[in-house]
């Protein structure tokens, strides 16, 4: 999906949530926090991977609220993780912050539950491929390989639905060909 967004000249940034939280903490420490939040707010599509893989603190919750609130109804967020959406509230220690974040994320969102073999496991059984993923933390994405994981949760906001249809069709066609 991020690949499709890049091909249609949308700006895209990819972060694993634990790394994003580290970068937000560093930005707060060196005084670049407002500038970093502003940069995140300007990206058309923000991809947050590994949602719920770490324990969120109160500070993490407030940081995530800032990121989500700056983008609410203006830009798209794609969140991927293996924790079901109905359990996301439990991940955040402050129930008020959790309500605020989830209200903004889930309102007008589309949730996809993907099931099947892990893409990484399947990929390691194949011969090496020279057209591999080209992702750099926090940088623009140029190429992204397809991803499917066991009980994978994907949350999309409406702005991105056209790209989803194109990308999903492409993904399904690749699965049929395999």
pLDDT digits (tens, 9 = 90+) for 156-175: 555 455 455 555 555 555 65
Least confident of 30-39, 88-97, 151-160, 165-174: 151-160
User: What does the domain layout of the chain look like in residue ranges?
Assistant: 2-177
Least confident of 65-79, 90-104, 131-145, 154-168: 131-145
Which among 28, 90, 30 has a CA at the least distance from the CA of 63? 28
C-alpha to C-alpha distance for 45 and 58, rounded to whole angstroms: 25
* pLDDT at residue 99 is higher than 80: yes
Once rounded to an integer, what is the mean pLDDT over residues 91-101?
95
Q: What is the pLDDT of residue 166?
A: 52
2-177 CATH: 3.40.50.300
Which among 59, 67, 60, 57 has a CA at the least distance from the CA of 34? 67
Helix (H, G, I), strand (E, B) or coil at 28: helix
């Amino acid at each position: 999906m991020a690949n499709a967004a890049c091909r249609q000249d949308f700006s895209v940034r990819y972060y694993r949530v634990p790394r994003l939280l580290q970068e937000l903490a560093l930005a707060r420490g060196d005084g670049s926090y407002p500038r970093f939040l502003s940069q995140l707010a300007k990206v058309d599509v923000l991809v947050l991977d590994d949602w719920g893989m770490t324990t969120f603190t109160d500070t993490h919750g407030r940081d995530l609220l800032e990121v989500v609130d700056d983008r609410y109804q203006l830009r798209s967020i794609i969140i991927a993780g293996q924790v079901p959406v109905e359990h996301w509230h439990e991940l955040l220690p402050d129930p008020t912050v959790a309500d605020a974040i989830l209200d903004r994320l889930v309102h007008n969102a589309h949730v996809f539950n993907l099931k099947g073999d892990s893409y990484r496991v399947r990929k390691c059984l194949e011969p090496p491929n020279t057209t591999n993923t080209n992702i750099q933390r926090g940088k623009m994405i140029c190429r992204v390989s397809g991803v499917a994981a066991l009980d994978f949760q994907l949350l999309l906001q409406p702005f991105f639905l056209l790209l989803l249809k194109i990308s999903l069709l492409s993904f399904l066609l690749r699965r049929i060909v395999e």
